[in-house]
Structure 1
Amino acid sequence: MPPVIDIRHIHRVFETEAGMAHILHNISLTVAQGEFVAITGPSGSGKSTLMNILGCLDTPTAGTYLLEGLNVAQLDDEELAEVRSERIGFVFQSFNLLSRMTVLDNVMLPLVYTGYAHGHREERAVSALAQAGLPVDHYDHKIGELSGGQMQRVAIARALVNDPAIILADEPTGNLDSATGQMVLESFHALQRTGKTIVLITHDPHIAAEADRIVTIRDGRLFHEGSADGSLPGTAVSGRTLSDLPHTRSEGGSL
């Protein structure tokens, strides 16, 4: 079985008013099905740019990204949108939920344009909420009536509702206190036990330590890759210089 994620010699260069900004340098990484991997690094290290590429929200300037064996570079915009909708679940620090809608309606929202009948959408949403660990008596609550931890569980359920190959979580505990954050992390562990693949972006080493494997990005380079217990030594990975890259124009972006 191929890795869920297989990125090879990824570079990302942005063209800015100040010149060319080389954000990612020669990044190679694989993530197997059912793995829980944390990508960590300081602010400005390139980890969010890497997540955007993994989530098919951005494309690399050079290198190859295979998602479940599918070469992402060969997809057009419509096909990329379909991959994002069906194969990738996103969980964000800010939840991105609609406050005036109920919990159940928020989770069903990604299914509205899939052609499923309402009953089937509701069935899938209930299943996703159960996986995320939210009690049944909260399903008809409005989002504004929930705690931060409960809202993040709803966001996790929404990410699960299309049965994605991978869950990408960007600082999912950043707006939560330590105890609530730990409860959310337990939800990720429970999902991993069902076979889900999880990639979590964080600047917090304590959060990263919850994963099976930690990947550290510094200055756009893969600096360290090892198990969460530190049993594998860190290595700095050198990349090609900017002059080695193909002359590809890239539109600007942010870290």
Structure 2
Amino acid sequence: MARPVIDIRGIHRIFESDAGFAHVLHNITFSVRPGEFVAITGPSGSGKSTLMNILGCLDTPTSGTYLLEGLNVAELVDDELAEVRATRIGFVFQSFNLLPRMSVLDNVMLPLAYTQAPRFQREMMAVHALQAVGLPVDHYDHRTNELSGGQMQRVAIARALVNDPAIILADEPTGNLDSHTGRMVLETFHKLKDTGKTIVLITHDSHVAAEADRIVSIRDGRLYHEDTSGIISTTGGGR
């Protein structure tokens, strides 16, 4: 079998404050295979956001191992983590995080700004990413504040794709969208999965989670695996 894109082993995350120590994640172990579409779900305060931050290299675990395409990111320093975020992870956020005064094409090109590629090559890469998410060509020179919510989210997905990352990490990508538009965005993720992209989607919506190949639930900092029929099994410190 192919090496997992994500391989997390025995992750703990403990935060220290004036009130003492808070053990937020307990012995989390799971993996994501290349081309898999996985949903991570859980209520507020469950540890879902902390796990997302670790997956996105925005935070590091207190103990345990996180291998991203075989690289132990848990051992990296800040500059190395920043490079991993820029080159190996594509982020899609609920609030889109697009720059409203810039064109669609320029927004998608942003992650390429620090590469050595000339502008024409960066433009070609951005066009390829926009084609992958199905945005019409006549929208490429529009400012993003001229787009609908669904179109903005497609631009955000294209921006996440432009560096050909190891994983697409989507945080509540349908949260600000109506049901019809959210359906269109989920169909975009399915099309990307069909091309071999690895997708990890964080959501509190059980209907959105059911779109994935597999569901991983976080409750009280412990991991529970589900299949899309709702059958639950515990792992890594589950009760």
TM-score class, shorter: over 0.9
- Asked if 1:227 is matched to 2:234, the reply is no
Show CA shifts across 1:83-130 (max 9, x none): 110110000000000000000000001111111100000000000011
Equivalent position of 1:55 in the other structure: 56
> What is the CA distance between 1:205 and its match in structure 2?
0.2
Cross-structure match for 1:71:
72
Q: 1:249: which partner in 2?
A: none
Report the residue type matching 2:97 in the other structure. N
Q: Look up the equivalent residue of 1:227 and give its one-letter code.
A: D
One-letter identity of the residue aligned with 1:26: N
Compute the displacement of 1:41 (Å): 0.5
1:31-110 alignment runs, 5 A limit: 31-110=32-111
Q: TM-score with structure 2 length normalisation?
A: 0.97
* Cα offsets for 1:18-53 (capped at 9, x unmatched): 111111011001000000000000011111110110
Aligned residues: 238
Please give the residue correspondences for 1:170-249 in structure 2 after superposition, counting only pairs within 5 Å.
Answer: 170-222=171-223, 224-230=224-230, 232-235=231-234, 237-238=236-237
Distance, in Å, in 1 between the alignment partners of 2:218 and 2:116 is 40
Question: How far apart, in 2, do the equivalents of 1:123 and 1:85 lie?
Answer: 19
The Cα of 1:237 is off from its aligned counterpart by: 4.7
SS in 2 for 1:73: helix
- Deviation per residue, 1:114-155 (Å, 9 max, x gap): 111000000000000111111111101001100000000000
Alpha-carbon distance, 1:238 to partner: 2.4
- Alignment deviations for residues 164-223 of structure 1 (CA, whole Å, 9 cap, x no partner): 01000000000000000010000000000110000000000000000000001001100x
In 2, the alpha carbon distance for the partners of 1:25 and 1:85 equals 28
Name the structure 1 match of 2:26.
25
- Distance of aligned partners of 1:116 and 1:236 in 2 relative to their CA distance in 1, 3 Å threshold: closer
1:11 CA displacement? 0.5
Match of 2:123 in 1: 122
CA distance in 1, matches of 2:106, 2:150: 18
1:29–1:92: structure 2 CA closer, same or farther, 3 Å change rule?
A: same
Structure 1 unaligned blocks of 5 or more? 240-255
Q: Which amino acid aligns with 1:238?
A: G
Structure 2 residues not aligned, in runs of 5+: none
Q: TM-score, normalised by structure 1?
A: 0.91
- Secondary structure of the residue aligned to 1:113 is coil
Counterpart of 1:234 in structure 2: which amino acid? Answer: S
Q: Secondary structure at the match of 2:4?
A: coil
Report the alpha carbon displacement of residue 75 of structure 1 after superposing the two structures with TM. Answer: 2.1
Q: Match for residue 168 of structure 1?
A: 169
| 1:131 matched residue in structure 2 | 132
Question: Secondary structure at the residue paired with 1:78?
Answer: helix
Query: What is the percent sequence identity of the aligned residues?
Result: 76
Distance 1:4 1:122 in 2: 28
Q: Tell me the CA shift for residue 236 of structure 1.
A: 6.3
Match of 1:243 in 2: none
* Stretch of structure 1 that moved more, 69-78 or 187-196: 69-78
**For the residues of structure 2 that align with 1:73 and 1:218, how far apart are their CA atoms?**
23
CA distance in 2, matches of 1:238, 1:73: 20
